[in-house]
Amino acid sequence: MIEVHDLHRHFGGFRAVDGASLQIRTGSITGLIGPNGAGKSTLFNVIAGVLPPTSGRVLMDGEDITGLPPHELFHKGLLRTFQMAHEFSSMSVRENLMMVPPGQSGESLWNTWFGRKRIADQERALRARADEVLDFLTISHVAEEKAGNLSGGQKKLLELGRCMMVEAKIVFLDEVGAGVNRTLLGTIADAIIRLNKERGYTFCVIEHDMDFIGKLCDPVIVMAEGKVLAQGSAAHIMENEAVIEAYLGRGLKNKAMVGA
């Protein structure tokens, strides 16, 4: 469980996150929605150690993880993906996956000189794991392809795949569906649901596509102006007056919120 208590992140005098408190229940796929500029990505960045908070606390299973750097959170099983995929474009898709696991024995000089067999064994295991991940994500056919040549949606799947190479507990997905075609979006949604149900991953998902959120997420948390405005099931949220006002009141276009 992730608990966020009265979190603030200011940029100069601007309060991007302005006293947000929320919980992400273990085992859930929690949606995080809100109009542009509501503070969603900033909140993710603070939870995932990319930005320090101005004030407030973040707990993971009761442990204070406020301000821990991303690599420490990574070792605790907390991962964050970005709106823009971060692949190594000149490496193959499989190699991108094989890069991920931390603490590879190939890293130390001792192992380089004396542990050749161990390294070879480890590489074989990594390769097998990468192939399993590619199979799970239904992108085995692009294993040898340079990651830079993948479509936007395939890159998003690769990001999910990187999360699967480690024993992630909780994954923060930032606009995993942005710019992705419907078919791949369905594949991404299925992968998230299967990872959640079959492997026990908890997810927190920022997404503007309400069909995607409605299919995947319970509960849905709505942010506006740096604060939590509402939370509940997707159906409940879409009927909430304050939420409709936050999206439409200031003329912000968001057809998805009104089901168009």
Which residues make up the interface to ligand ATP (CB under 6 A)? 11, 14, 16, 34, 36-42
**Nearest CB to ligand ATP, comparing residues 130 and 257:** 257
Tokens in use for 176?
A: 């995993």
Which of residues 83 and 196 has its CB atom nearest to ligand ATP in the complex?
83
Q: How far is the CB of 39 from ligand ATP (least distance, A)?
A: 4
Q: How far is the CB of 54 from ligand ATP (least distance, A)?
A: 12
Which residue, 70 or 101, has its beta carbon nearer to ligand ATP?
A: 70
Residue among 36 and 183 whose Cβ is closer to ligand ATP: 36
CA torsion, ordered 91, 95, 97, 102, to nearest 10 deg = -110
| Distance (Å) of CA 240 to CA 234, 237, 248 | 10, 5, 12
Closest to ligand ATP by CB, 54 vs 104, is: 54
Q: How far is the CB of 58 from ligand ATP (least distance, A)?
A: 16
Sheet holding 14-24, edge to edge: 14-24, 2-11, 55-60, 63-64
Residues near 13 by Cβ (< 8 Å), separated by ≥ 6?
none
Q: How far is the CB of 122 from ligand ATP (least distance, A)?
A: 38
Closest separation in Å from C-beta 34 to ligand ATP: 5
